[in-house]
């Protein structure tokens, strides 16, 4: 049980240091005399402190007019309270002590401030093992409040600390790793002595988490520094770091190699001494970048340098200079130029080999064989060479001849076509070379021939394989001498004509049979171009179909939109002996005939619908899906008709009447519907 009493403090300095010292000393005496314990509490604080502890008393912020509660336990509490009340009141009365109080108070407030604001935790214990001071940093580190722990025994708050030993032996402990309310702390513990008497213990604590954090940061800074250092050491460019005072702080090995100056000769020297008018000194003075400085080092090496100021925030730290050997840059530039020229050359070559002249756009198709032929034609066009175009009828020989002409330098001059097979042989000479008026020719007028008309341009001699032998000789002369006479004429006419010939005939066989002159063949065959048949480029059929559909829609004012899949399959299956001309004709016929806005099987001619490739046979059980009965039947009728040549014979062979065979042949489109019999 405690007895207590309230006392109001009446002093402008409040509970000042001298009073605290006197009261705590008096409390100590009374505790010993009366065997009692005395406590003090500032009214409203709820905090009870041992009165005999000077530090505890000091840390109680009692102001003028505040009330304190004095609590006592023991046998004669009232007596103790009377005596203590009187003593406290007397402490604040002595007028002459006012000045000393002020000085003491100032010193005490100063220390209090220091204690509160130092970043390290401070815990002070009195000789009774009671915590008398617990500063803000100690609160932050431990998470405990000073109000709570002041007045408590160290045994409760600091259970595993070696305080027993400090009290017993006055020993000091430095750098101990301990715990405070679960927080790891690094602690220095020392006894406090006053005039060789131990009056308490002070512990200074550091938060281990903060220390760990700092040490981690330090490690990563070190690691980063190491990394940058390695980087600088291994770069190919020379690097020199100069601090803000102009002292050379670092050069990398590349800098030593380029300049021939050694690290230990450079480090610590001032650039203002080494090279006062140099770029580094200038960059230091200006604190601005200086780029592309060209100079020569004492070892004769020409270099180019870039200098940049280094700032840390707003703080100027110095200058970094990066240098490269000019010869090295020159070498690199030369190599780069060489590579650029090579790349340009290759690019042009690639374009030349790939890109066809626009004139070839009229030729539809993507097939590889066709593209190859057109690529040769495009090159021949530019070279003005004589060209011999080979290919089956309808493969586009004339189209290619025109493209060659329009892709050549002669494109603004005439393109003259002569179909050698279509002109009777007796007229061919005058057709080619013209004729003169006169008795000999019987002509009333004179007429220029195709060669004259083509002067400056191109003459396209189609079906050259049909040229009669006498004309072959005359043509050879024009090719070799570029001159001729008109029929019945005596004047020699000179012409500059490019010849493109074409044929679907096997000229080599004709040479063997002596129907085509070998010398003319070699004159014409300077650049041979072989156009593939349509069956060799079936992959182009869909694009050609689309092309003709568009072209003819325009020409005929129709709007046929597409060809059904089934019809397209039939078109692709067919072998096209007449090549693209045949396809063009079929498309024209379909477009004229159809009433729909698409083309399907009904629109295609029967021989295309019913076409089956020669060697395809359905009756094959080796693998794949079986065909339908109807398909087998169609196959059997087709083979029988092919083998026996008539409905009658095929019927006999198959055990059917000739009427049945005919009906089935019509059904499957093997024969035309109005065909009566095959005999
Ligand atoms: N690749 C193509 N793209 C578009 N149309 C083509 C193509 N090839 C040929 N044609 C067209 O096919 C028709 C036949 O072509 P061309 O007259 O050039 O063939 P040709 O080989 O000269 O025939 P011939 O040997 O019978 O004289 C022409 O109407 C032509 O426009």
The pLDDT tens digits for 54-106 are 767 776 778 888 899 999 988 888 999 999 999 888 877 655 566 666 667 67
CA distance 124 to 147: 14
Which of the residues in the chain have pLDDT under 70? 55, 59, 93-103, 105, 107-108, 195, 345-356, 439-444, 613-627, 672-679
Contact 296, 258 (CB under 8 A): no
The pLDDT score that the predictor gives to residue 195 is: 65
Token pair belonging to 147: 């109000």
Non-local CB neighbours of 337 within 8 Å, separated by 6+ positions: none
The pLDDT score that the predictor gives to residue 118 is: 86
The rounded Cα 140 to chain-centroid distance in angstroms is 50
Angle between helices 629-644 and 647-654 (to 10 degrees): 120
The pLDDT score that the predictor gives to residue 623 is: 43
Architecture of domain 534-609: Orthogonal Bundle (1.10)
Distance 460 CA to ligand 1 centre (A): 14
The pLDDT score that the predictor gives to residue 302 is: 86
Q: Is the CB of 364 under 6 A from ligand 1?
A: yes
The number of residues in the chain equals 679
Distance 357 CA to ligand 1 centre (A): 18
Distance set, CA 593 to CA 163, 589, 599, 610 (Å): 117, 6, 10, 19
Minimum-distance ligand 1 atom for the alpha carbon of 395: 21
The rounded Cα 341 to chain-centroid distance in angstroms is 27
Q: Is the CB of 395 under 6 A from ligand 1?
A: yes
How much is the ipTM here?
Answer: 0.95
Architecture of domain 358-530: 3-Layer(aba) Sandwich (3.40)
Q: Where would I find the beta strands (DSSP E) of 385-462? A: 387-390, 415-419, 434-435, 447-448, 458-462
Domain ranges within the chain, ordered by starting residue? 1-117, 358-530, 534-609, 612-679
Distance 359 CA to ligand 1 centre (A): 15
Contact 151, 49 (CB under 8 A): yes
* DSSP bridge pairs for 306: 322
The pLDDT score that the predictor gives to residue 583 is: 96
Test site for ligand 1: of 580, 583, 586, most ligand atoms within 8 A of the Cβ:
580
Q: Is the CB of 363 under 6 A from ligand 1?
A: yes
Three-state secondary structure call for residue 648: helix
Instruction: Report DSSP state, residue 594.
Output: -
The pLDDT score that the predictor gives to residue 619 is: 55
**CATH number belonging to domain 612-679:** 1.10.10
Q: Which own/partner pairs from 539-545 qualify as long-range (CB within 8 Å, at least 24 positions apart)?
A: 539/366, 539/367, 540/364, 540/365, 540/366, 540/367, 540/370, 541/568, 541/571, 541/572, 541/583, 542/568, 542/572, 543/364, 543/365, 543/366, 544/364, 544/365, 544/580, 544/583, 545/571, 545/583, 545/587
Test site for ligand 1: of 368, 395, 399, 542, most ligand atoms within 8 A of the Cβ:
399
CA distance 559 to 544: 17
The pLDDT score that the predictor gives to residue 50 is: 83
Which residue from 257, 579, 575, 223 is spatially nearest to 399, judged by alpha carbons?
579
The pLDDT score that the predictor gives to residue 675 is: 54
Protein residue closest via CA to atom 10 of ligand 1: 396
The pLDDT score that the predictor gives to residue 352 is: 53
Q: Is the CB of 393 under 6 A from ligand 1?
A: yes
Give exposure, 461-496, as e/b (b: 16+ Cβ within 10 Å): bbbbbbbeeebbebbbebbeeeebebbbbeeebebe
Architecture of domain 1-117: 2-Layer Sandwich (3.30)
Minimum-distance ligand 1 atom for the alpha carbon of 389: 21
The pLDDT score that the predictor gives to residue 624 is: 44
Non-local CB neighbours of 564 within 8 Å, separated by 6+ positions: 598, 599, 600, 601
Q: Is the CB of 408 under 6 A from ligand 1?
A: no
**Model-level pTM?**
0.46
Q: Is the CB of 580 under 6 A from ligand 1?
A: yes
CA distance 415 to 503: 18
CA distance 254 to 530: 64
Minimum-distance ligand 1 atom for the alpha carbon of 580: 12
The pLDDT score that the predictor gives to residue 350 is: 58
């Amino acid at each position: 049980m405690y007895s207590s009493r309230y006392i109001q403090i009446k002093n402008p300095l409040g509970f000042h240091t001298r009073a605290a010292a006197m009261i705590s000393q008096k409390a100590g005496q009374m505790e010993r005399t009366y065997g009692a314990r005395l406590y003090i509490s500032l009214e409203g604080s709820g905090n009870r402190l041992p009165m005999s502890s000077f530090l505890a008393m000091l840390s109680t912020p009692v102001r003028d007019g505040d009330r304190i509660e004095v609590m006592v336990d023991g046998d004669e509490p009232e007596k103790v309270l009377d005596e203590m009340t009187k003593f406290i009141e007397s402490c604040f009365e002595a007028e002459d002590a006012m000045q000393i109080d002020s000085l003491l108070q100032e010193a005490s407030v100063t220390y209090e401030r220091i204690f509160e604001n130092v970043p390290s935790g401070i815990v002070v214990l009195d000789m009774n093992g009671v915590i008398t001071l617990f500063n803000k940093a100690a609160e932050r580190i431990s998470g405990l409040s000073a109000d709570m722990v002041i007045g408590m025994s160290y045994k409760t708050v600091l259970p595993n600390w070696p305080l027993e030993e400090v009290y017993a032996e006055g020993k000091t402990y430095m750098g101990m790793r301990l715990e405070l309310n679960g927080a790891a702390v690094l602690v220095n513990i020392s006894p406090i002595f006053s005039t060789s008497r131990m009056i308490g213990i002070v512990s200074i604590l550091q938060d281990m988490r903060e220390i760990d954090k700092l040490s981690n940061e330090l490690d990563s800074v070190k690691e980063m520094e190491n990394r940058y250092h390695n980087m600088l050491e291994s770069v190919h460019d020379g690097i020199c770091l100069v601090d803000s005072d102009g002292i050379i702080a670092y050069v990398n090995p590349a800098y030593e190699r380029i300049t021939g100056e050694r690290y230990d000769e450079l480090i610590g020297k001032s650039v203002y001494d080494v090279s006062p008018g140099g770029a580094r000194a200038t960059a230091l003075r200006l604190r601005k970048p200086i780029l592309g400085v060209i100079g020569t080092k004492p070892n004769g090496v020409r270099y180019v340098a870039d200098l940049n100021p280094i700032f840390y925030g707003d703080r100027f730290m110095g200058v970094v200079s990066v240098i490269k050997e000019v010869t090295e840059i020159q070498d690199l530039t030369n190599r780069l130029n060489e590579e650029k020229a090579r790349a340009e050359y290759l690019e042009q070559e690639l374009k030349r080999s790939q890109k066809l002249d626009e004139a070839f756009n009229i030729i539809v198709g993507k097939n590889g064989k066709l593209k190859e032929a057109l690529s040769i034609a495009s090159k021949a066009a530019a070279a003005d060479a004589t060209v011999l175009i080979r290919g089956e009828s309808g493969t586009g020989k004339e189209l290619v001849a025109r493209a060659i002409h329009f892709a050549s330098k002669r494109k603004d001059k005439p393109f003259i076509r002569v179909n050698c097979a279509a002109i009777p042989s007796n007229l061919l000479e005058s057709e080619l070379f013209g004729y003169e008026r006169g008795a000999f020719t019987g002509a009333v007028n004179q007429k220029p021939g195709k060669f004259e008309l083509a002067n400056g341009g191109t003459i396209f001699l189609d079906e050259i394989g049909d040229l009669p032998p006498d004309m072959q000789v005359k043509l050879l002369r024009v090719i070799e001498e570029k001159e001729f006479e008109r029929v019945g004429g005596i004047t020699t006419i000179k012409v500059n004509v490019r010849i493109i010939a074409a044929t679907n005939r096997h000229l080599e066989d004709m040479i063997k049979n002596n129907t085509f002159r070998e010398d003319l063949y070699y004159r014409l065959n300077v650049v041979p171009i072989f156009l593939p048949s349509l069956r060799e480029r079936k992959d182009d059929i869909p694009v050609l179909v689309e092309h003709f559909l568009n072209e003819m829609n325009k020409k005929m004012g129709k709007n046929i939109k597409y060809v059904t899949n089934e019809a397209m399959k039939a078109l692709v299956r067919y072998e096209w002996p007449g090549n693209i001309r045949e396809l063009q004709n079929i498309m024209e016929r379909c477009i004229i005939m159809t009433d729909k806005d698409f083309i399907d099987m009904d629109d295609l001619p029967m021989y295309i619908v019913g076409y089956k490739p020669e060697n395809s046979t359905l009756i094959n059980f080796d693998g794949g899906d079986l065909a339908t009965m109807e398909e087998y039947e169609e196959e059997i009728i087709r083979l029988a008709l092919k083998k026996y040549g008539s409905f009658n014979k095929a019927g006999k062979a198959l055990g059917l009447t000739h009427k049945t065979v005919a009906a089935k042949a019509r059904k499957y489109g093997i024969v035309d519907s109005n065909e009566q019999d095959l005999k």
